[in-house]
Amino acid sequence: MEAEFEARIVRGETIEPKDWMPERYRKQLIRMMSQHAHSEVVGMLPEGNWITRAPSLRRKISLLAKVQDEAGHGLYIYCGTETLGIRRGDVIDQLLAGTAKYSSIFNYPTLSWADMGAIGWLVDGAAIVNQTMLAKASYGPYARAMIRICKEENFHKRQGYEIMATLAAGTPAQKAMAQDALDRWWWPSLMMFGPSDKDSPNSAELLRWRVKQKGNDELRQRFINLTVPQAHAIGLTIPDAALRQDEATQDWISGPIDWEEFHQVITGNGPCNKERLAARNQAHAEGGWVRQAAAAHAEKQAARSAA
Amino acid sequence: MNDWPLWEVFTQPPGGAPHEHAGSLHAPDAEIALQNARDVYTRRGEAVSIWVVPSASITASSPEDAGPFFDPGNDKPYRHPQFYKVPRGMK
Amino acid sequence: MSGERGALCQYLLRLGDDRLVLGHRNSEWCGHGPVLEEDIAIANIALDLLGQATLFLRLAGQLEGQGRDEDALAYWRDENRFTNLQMLELPKGDFGYTILRQFLFDAWSYHHLQELARSSSADLAALAAKAHKETRYHLRHSSEWVLRLGDGTDESHGRMQAALDELWPWTGELAWQNGVDAQLRAKGIVPDLETLHAPWEAMVRDVLGRATLIVPSGPMRMTGGRLGRHTEYLGHMLAEMQIVARSHPGAKW
């Protein structure tokens, strides 16, 4: 059965929920998909932080719509994860207990309005590079969720870049705000792609099973090449003194990434890890009575109809 | 969260095409499932009609059925118009 | 500004301020809802309200004719210039409180916008018609949740009853009118809010009754919202809402 499964993957076939799959494939997908869903939901918090302070009605509405989309993305992927035989409640319990991972980037604080621009432009920009690839993942429910997400994601990046461009062309204070945000979000965005492939334990397997199609380094380089000219176009400086363009390949070669910082952040010691988990735990705990009430009402209604 | 059953959502786009599976969601009952389906799956005007169905109500074929159920039937050309000859010029 | 034009400007400000304030309060739920599906639902309602606010405030600014657009009105007025109902500026409370407040307002808006859609002012009628469609959906959502939470568990019932005991006295302000309304009523631009009170109350008591909730008796809260006299909550809300815009006078966003 293993051999047939591997052959299906090689043929480019889509694996669906009821198909036979190696237990390890199932586990890897549950891990990857639930981490992805957690990231979307936790990702609502740093941006949600600025909805009440958005400085114009158009920006307020756009930001709220973006964060709402992220809730939707989390929902699509949680539902996709459930096709692998695990319940959403159980997966969420893992997040709340601190045993599940989510994207490191959301453990950074949002400290100014310009962070909304930086996040849309850089973080969603990085996510798009990743997600376009995942839309061709071998597991059907994941690929389908990703196709839906990719359609919605494009406005997120454009919104972010538009905010940055407006600030960079604005008052000196606004321009400084934008540069400061870029200074703080650039390196964490590069780290979003994960460690170098040679240091990434899961990469090889995920590539073989066509859950991923490209390695971390290749995706990171693609992101850098796309983004550096965008920064230059609006008059902002990438905070990397060592950044230079390779003559032959035209690649923008980044300076060294501080992987120690990444390690700290993904092991729970980043600037906001505790606060993010506390917020999710609080929402979940405070919402318990609501979820129970709705279930109780449904039961009562069923009993009444049966009577 | 584990109290709320899973529902499958089908949406029908404008223009008369059939309902298509859009995804799933959790809801305590049918009314909330319908409302949530509208909020989650039709924000960008993708639908004129929504069906929500408890996932448990769906009977699905299994991969083992694929052979007998879905064999392409290349040996059954009589189901296709090309099998039939009509005089030239007749549509 | 001519009497009628000025009155209509004021009226539009009220409609816009109600939705701006309530939309803002609802937006505070984003990322903190009891379940993802409801996070999305509340955000949808907030977006609709903020969208309506944008249109009402924009039209108000145009009528005023002093070059103020919706952002100038939203971000650069002090609290004593805001004309929203006080009930809408109260902090969001728990999910039940938010739902109940939304329901009480939705039921009012349903009737109010229905009448405004027949306004002799074409601009107002058009905005009201569009808003009414959205309000029908909001009302469906909030009333269904009032039922589920009122008639759910003992805990949810207790919380909803407490919310109703607190919110009901604020509803006295819904039908408040003054010379602004009188002037516009005379021209068929707006309805007599008094005539909306009975159908609103019938709708609301029906749902609350089915939700096994008891409508409290007792005095209504003092009014004042339409005249810029608010609770202490509005100042804090506006301080947060306006801070970035106010910190950068003249800036574009």
- ipTM rounded to 2 decimals: 0.97
Mean pLDDT of C19-34: 97
What is the spatial distance between Cα A234 and Cα A229, in angstroms, rounded to a whole number?
A: 9
Mean pLDDT of B72-87: 73
List A residues 5-64 in contact with C (Cβ-Cβ < 8 A). 41, 44-45, 48, 51-61, 64
Integer angstrom CA distances of residue C214 from A215, B88, C41, C106: 62, 80, 27, 19
Band the pLDDT of B61: cuts 50, 70, 90.
confident
C32 vs A60: CB contact, 8 Å cut-off? no
Entry pTM: 0.95
Helix (H, G, I), strand (E, B) or coil at A265: helix
- pLDDT tens per residue, chain A (307 residues)? 889 999 999 899 999 999 999 999 999 999 999 999 999 999 999 999 999 999 999 999 999 999 999 999 999 999 999 999 999 999 999 999 999 999 999 999 999 999 999 999 999 999 998 888 888 899 999 999 999 999 888 889 999 999 999 999 999 999 999 999 999 999 999 999 988 888 877 778 888 888 788 889 999 999 999 999 999 999 999 999 999 999 999 999 999 999 999 888 888 888 899 999 999 999 999 999 999 999 999 999 999 988 7
Whether residue C95 has pLDDT greater than 80: yes
pLDDT of residue C159: 98
Residue of A16, A68, A297 lying closest to B28 (CB–CB): A297
- Domain regions of chain B by residue span: 6-83
Mean pLDDT of C213-225: 94
Q: Which residue type, as a one-letter code, is found at position C177?
A: Q
Nearest-CA distance from C35 to chain B in Å? Answer: 8
Which of A157, A155, A86 minimizes the C-alpha distance to A118?
Answer: A157
What is the spatial distance between Cα B52 and Cα B54, in angstroms, rounded to a whole number?
A: 7
Which tokens belong to C31?
């990322």
Q: Is B32 on the interface with C (CB under 8 A)?
A: yes
Q: Is A303 on the interface with C (CB under 8 A)?
A: no
- Classify burial at A41, counting beta carbons within 10 Å of its beta carbon; exposed 0-12, middle 13-18, buried 19 or more: buried
CB atoms within 10 A of CB C219: 7
| CA C37 to mean position of chain CA atoms | 23
- Domain regions of chain C by residue span: 3-247
Q: In terms of residues, how long is chain C?
A: 253
Which string of b and e fits C72-94 if b means at least 16 CB within 10 Å? ebbbebebeebbbbbbbbbebbb
* Residue A199 neighbours by CB under 8 Å, 6+ apart: A259
What is the spatial distance between Cα A193 and Cα A184, in angstroms, rounded to a whole number?
A: 17
What is the spatial distance between Cα A127 and Cα A104, in angstroms, rounded to a whole number?
A: 12
Whether residue B2 has pLDDT greater than 70: no
Residue B10 backbone dihedrals phi, psi, to 5 degrees: -125, 130
**Contact residues of A toward B, CB < 8 A:** 16, 18-20, 68, 72, 75-76, 79-80, 82, 87-90, 92, 144-145, 148, 152, 291-292, 294-295, 297-298, 301
Q: Is B43 on the interface with C (CB under 8 A)?
A: yes
Whether residue C1 has pLDDT greater than 60: no
pLDDT of residue B72: 67
Strands B49-54 and B6-12: antiparallel
- Domain regions of chain A by residue span: 2-306
In tens, the pLDDT along B6-24 reads 999 999 999 999 999 999 9
Whether residue C248 has pLDDT greater than 80: yes
Instruction: Find the helix packing angle between C36-64 and B30-41, rounded to 10°.
Output: 60
Mean pLDDT of C147-164: 98
Q: Evaluate whether A44 touches A71 at the Cβ level (below 8 Å).
A: yes
In tens, the pLDDT along C98-130 reads 999 999 999 999 999 999 999 999 999 999 999
> Which fold would CATH assign to domain A2-306?
Ferritin (1.20.1260)
Integer angstrom CA distances of residue C137 from A307, B26, C248: 31, 20, 38
pLDDT of residue B73: 63
Q: Spelled out in words, what is the top-level CATH class assigned to the domain C3-247?
A: mainly alpha
Which of A144, B23, C15 minimizes the C-alpha distance to B7?
Answer: B23
Which sign does the torsion angle of CA C138, C144, C149, C150 carry?
positive
pLDDT of residue A134: 87
Residue of A nearest to B36 (CA): A72
What is the spatial distance between Cα C80 and Cα C227, in angstroms, rounded to a whole number?
A: 8
pLDDT of residue B91: 63
B3 vs A291: CB contact, 8 Å cut-off? yes
What is the spatial distance between Cα A51 and Cα C226, in angstroms, rounded to a whole number?
A: 26
Q: Tell me which of 2.60.40.10, 3.10.20.520, 3.40.50.300, 3.30.70.1400 is the CATH number of domain B6-83.
A: 3.10.20.520
